[in-house]
């Protein structure tokens, strides 16, 4: 299920652990950026836990930098997705990537790929497949 919301940079007043925040990162050439999970078993979108004194939007941007070395502009609109096999849902912000850095904090822990949407849809698990397909229609 998809819910679309706007976030004008409000801080989370109470830590709410029922969802994670992340980015749907796409390039100007119409490609998507994926990273591996920490264990390296699957391709995912950059995401992480919420921060107590940081807006969800800023935390998503931070996760994109830490996990994938991405810099770019985030939309204020976000998309909430229910998770099928995990206790946490996902709040995804779209990011138009400006810069892909060679060095980033989690470089030694993850792999990164910039790929076509068609290839990305074949690489990810069902949960991310639905997110990529839905946001591809809405954003690109």
State the CATH number of the domain containing residue 44: 3.90.79.10
pLDDT value at residue 139:
80
Which structural domain, as residue segments, surrounds residue 98?
Answer: 2-139
pLDDT for 64: 98
The 10s digit of each residue's pLDDT in 93-112 is 999 999 999 999 999 999 99
pLDDT value at residue 41: 87
Output the DSSP codes for 17-75. TTEEEEEEEE-TTS-EEEEE-TTSSSEE--EEE--TTS-HHHHHHHHHHHHH-EEEEEE
pLDDT of the residue at 55: 93
User: Hey, is 80 helix, strand or coil?
Assistant: strand
Residue found under tokens 């299920």? 1
Distance separating alpha carbons of residues 44 and 20, to the nearest angstrom: 13
Question: Token pair for residue 1?
Answer: 């299920």
Which pLDDT value is given to residue 4?
A: 57
Q: Which of 78, 82, 84 is nearest to 19 (CA)?
A: 82
Please identify every stretch of the chain with a pLDDT value under 50, giving residue numbers as ranges: 8-15
The per-residue pLDDT for 78 is 92
pTM, two decimals, is 0.85
* Distance of alpha carbon 63 from alpha carbon 68, whole angstroms: 8
Total number of domains in the chain: 1
What pLDDT does residue 31 have?
96
């Amino acid at each position: 299920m998809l819910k679309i919301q706007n976030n004008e940079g409000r801080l989370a007043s109470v830590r709410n652990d029922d969802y994670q925040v992340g980015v749907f990162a796409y390039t100007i050439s119409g490609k998507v950026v994926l990273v591996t999970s920490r264990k390296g078993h699957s391709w995912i979108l950059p995401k992480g836990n919420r921060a107590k004194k940081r807006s969800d939007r800023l935390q998503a941007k931070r996760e994109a930098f830490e996990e994938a070395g991405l810099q770019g502009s985030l939309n204020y609109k976000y998309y909430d997705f229910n998770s099928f096999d995990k206790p946490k849902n996902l709040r995804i912000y779209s990011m138009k990537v400006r810069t892909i850095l060679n060095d980033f904090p989690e470089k030694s822990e993850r792999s990164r790929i910039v790929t076509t949407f068609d290839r990305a849809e074949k690489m990810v698990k069902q949960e991310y497949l639905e997110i990529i397909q839905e946001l591809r229609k809405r954003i690109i």
